[in-house]
Structure 1
Amino acid sequence: MAVERDLSRPLPSADDLLVLLAVGRSGRFTSAADNLGINHTTVSRRIAALERAVGGRVLARGAGGWELTELGRTALDAAESVDAVLRGLVTGHRTGELEGVVRISATDGFSAYVVAPAAARVRERHPGITVEIVATTRRASQQRSGMDVEVVVGQPQVHRAESVRLADYCLGLYASRTYLGTHEQPRTAADLADHGLVYFIDSVLAVDDLDQARTIAPSMHESVTSTNVFVHVEATRAHAGIGLLPCFMADRHDDLVRLLPSDVAVRLSYWLVARPEALRRPEVAAVVESIKAVTMEERDALLGQL
């Protein structure tokens, strides 16, 4: 039996649905406003208009930002359909070509050696996709404001998001050949007390797994510390001390020697985190699949087995 529509209630506006799509992807009105080029008040007004049209709440405030209600998820499906149709009008005859901006947050090394080549591959197939990479080392965000995908170290504790383990990687101790020419090479873990450590700044390190890695050499005093792992590598190459470095980065340099590989090998893991709404976007899905493919190709290098 057909269900009659309440004629006193306006039909949902396509513009309002697209605003919901932007909020659903970011979880925040401010991020949606920035992405759409409108102000926060306009976002709020359009969401209110959409809720009047559909007869209920589409968003509920959660601990990590705005979350979709059951009605909101239904509306989001319609919004994605509208978005797909509009994108089809723009791309015209270019069947199968994807467009859009994909924003990714990942650690420095992973950004450079996995995300960047993965993005380049996607761009070869879909020149209409723009990939923005924010290189940072942090925990997975509960709000994921403005980010479609995050790659973090250690299993994330997140709500209303999907997480997948990408790969394990290894940290090892490295020193430059020049450094070893002027300092006695450590033969045991106890010998490390005579050397300075190049690693993260302890007071600002927010990732538990990386913080715990520091305990492998508690007797070492700090030498050069930084929030950026590329600084760790270059400081170690410049003979500042012994670096606790990702093997897939350090092994690229012939002037670095790995020390005590049997005694010091810290195994950590990379995880990918994204909202389900983001993963349903074809351009995001294409980038994620490319990241997974490059990660698999680099698996041995990540573990320091090359």
Structure 2
Amino acid sequence: MADKKRTEPDWQDVRVFLALGRHGSLSAAARALLVNHATIARRIQSLEATLGEKLVERRPEGYVLTPAGTRALAVASDMETAVQTLGRGDADGSPKGLVRVNAPPALSQGFLIAHLAELPKQHPGLDIDLATDLRPVSLERRETDIAVRLGRPQDGDYIAKPLGSMAFGFYGTNAVCKQVEAGGAPVFISFDEMNTYVPEAAWLVRQHSRARVAFRANNQFAQATAARTGVGLALLPHYIGRKEKGLRLCRFDPVPPPREVWLLMRRQDRKDLPIRTVVEHLMQAFVSERALFDA
């Protein structure tokens, strides 16, 4: 007897289509799913045959979605969210499962770790994965579930929630601050050469182009540690400088304008209980600690 023609999509075909739509190439999708190129191509052909529509087109710059593919990707994303939501809540309504958070390293080390580590104690079924990187990872490609970003988001179909503003000041040991406040030439601590694009690093170069930078590190939490040795002044967010024993705020102006802190999540995850639990916890943490961040 001949096999009955399949009229409903195979979930594995959908998973492959999602990966190709997000990554844009066979090789990137294959790496993400740990399969070979042939499997990706075969699964895409299978889904197109099932739906009766062309979903992707191959171009020199990679694979792009057709209009039908764009519509299908939105539906497939909703399907993925529904599948992942299964089993993410206990019978008593407690959150259950892994939630991945991505945030800049200084903000993570100086503030987020202490607050996020409370959640698995409060909810034994909830696990947290905190990834720290100056270069943000992708929400769209599901490399993270929640992103904490500095600066107002410019685009993307995300839910963006303002967490407050982050103000700055120059911090140093009492001896270093006294010298600078008396008119001595400042010596600075700043970002390493790989991170000169960071707004605070660029601002410091513009304001003090001829000043010596005696120590460089890739994040402000590390720079605060260096400042405790007395090697120089560090331009720090107040939430770091105010908590560092051995440092004080120097009377040294100007300072860069505050930066906005935002929380981003995928719109389709707004009903996911574990993700929503982490979002609400983070928003409350920033509200309760607002004085630590403000000028």
- Indicate which of 129, 133, 142 corresponds to 1:132: 129
Instruction: Measure, in 1, the Cα distance between the counterparts of 2:276 and 2:198.
Output: 26
Q: CA deviation at 1:39?
A: 5.3
Partner residue of 2:202? 211
Partner residue of 1:13? 10
Partner residue of 2:70? 69
8 Å CA contact 2:172, 2:249 repeated in 1: yes
Q: CA deviation at 1:165?
A: 2.7
Amino acid paired to 1:235: A
- Indicate which of 165, 181, 187 corresponds to 1:186: 181
Task: Tell me how large the CA RMSD over aligned residues is.
Answer: 3.8
- Indicate which of 286, 289, 292 corresponds to 1:298: 289
Query: In structure 2, do the counterparts of structure 1 residues 127 and 45 end up closer, same or farther at CA, with 3 Å as the change threshold?
Result: farther
Amino acid paired to 1:52: A
| TM-score, reference length from structure 1 | 0.74
8 Å CA contact 2:171, 2:235 repeated in 1: yes
Q: How many residues align?
A: 288
8 Å CA contact 1:172, 1:266 repeated in 2: no
Following superposition of structure 1 onto structure 2, how do residues 1-306 of structure 1 map, counting pairs within 5 Å?
A: 8-17=5-14, 38=35, 41-56=38-53, 69-85=70-86, 87=87, 94-138=91-135, 146-180=143-177, 184-187=179-182, 191=183, 194-201=185-192, 204-208=195-199, 211-212=202-203, 214-260=205-251, 263-264=254-255, 266-279=257-270, 281-304=272-295
8 Å CA contact 1:107, 1:135 repeated in 2: yes
Instruction: Measure, in 2, the Cα distance between the counterparts of 1:252 and 1:287.
Output: 24
8 Å CA contact 2:21, 2:64 repeated in 1: yes
Q: SS at the partner of 2:116?
A: helix
Query: In structure 2, do the counterparts of structure 1 residues 136 and 79 end up closer, same or farther at CA, with 3 Å as the change threshold?
Result: closer
8 Å CA contact 1:25, 1:277 repeated in 2: no
Query: In structure 2, do the counterparts of structure 1 residues 47 and 132 end up closer, same or farther at CA, with 3 Å as the change threshold?
Result: farther
| TM-score, reference length from structure 2 | 0.77
Q: Deviations over 1:212-255 (max 9, x none)?
A: 35534445321111112122101111001111111111111242
Instruction: Measure, in 1, the Cα distance between the counterparts of 2:54 and 2:48.
Output: 6
Q: SS at the partner of 1:151?
A: strand
Query: In structure 2, do the counterparts of structure 1 residues 23 and 155 end up closer, same or farther at CA, with 3 Å as the change threshold?
Result: same
Instruction: Measure, in 2, the Cα distance between the counterparts of 1:244 and 1:133.
Output: 25
Q: CA deviation at 1:157?
A: 3.1
Q: CA deviation at 1:111?
A: 1.0
Instruction: Measure, in 1, the Cα distance between the counterparts of 2:62 and 2:268.
Output: 15
Q: CA deviation at 1:123?
A: 1.9
Instruction: Measure, in 1, the Cα distance between the counterparts of 2:173 and 2:49.
Output: 66
Instruction: Measure, in 1, the Cα distance between the counterparts of 2:173 and 2:70.
Output: 56
Q: SS at the partner of 1:222?
A: strand
Q: Deviations over 1:6-31 (max 9, x none)?
A: x8443222444455567778888777
Q: Which moved more, 1:19-28 or 1:108-117?
A: 19-28
Q: CA deviation at 1:163?
A: 3.4
Instruction: Measure, in 1, the Cα distance between the counterparts of 2:125 and 2:8.
Output: 32
8 Å CA contact 2:215, 2:226 repeated in 1: yes
Q: CA deviation at 1:275?
A: 3.4
Q: SS at the partner of 2:152?
A: coil
Q: Deviations over 1:228-287 (max 9, x none)?
A: 212210111100111111111111124212112674364112223343345554322322
8 Å CA contact 2:81, 2:269 repeated in 1: no
8 Å CA contact 1:199, 1:226 repeated in 2: yes
8 Å CA contact 1:64, 1:142 repeated in 2: no
Instruction: Measure, in 2, the Cα distance between the counterparts of 1:121 and 1:274.
Output: 21
Q: CA deviation at 1:37?
A: 5.8
Q: Percent identity?
A: 24
Instruction: Measure, in 1, the Cα distance between the counterparts of 2:78 and 2:41.
Output: 20
Q: SS at the partner of 1:112?
A: helix
Instruction: Measure, in 2, the Cα distance between the counterparts of 1:285 and 1:224.
Output: 40
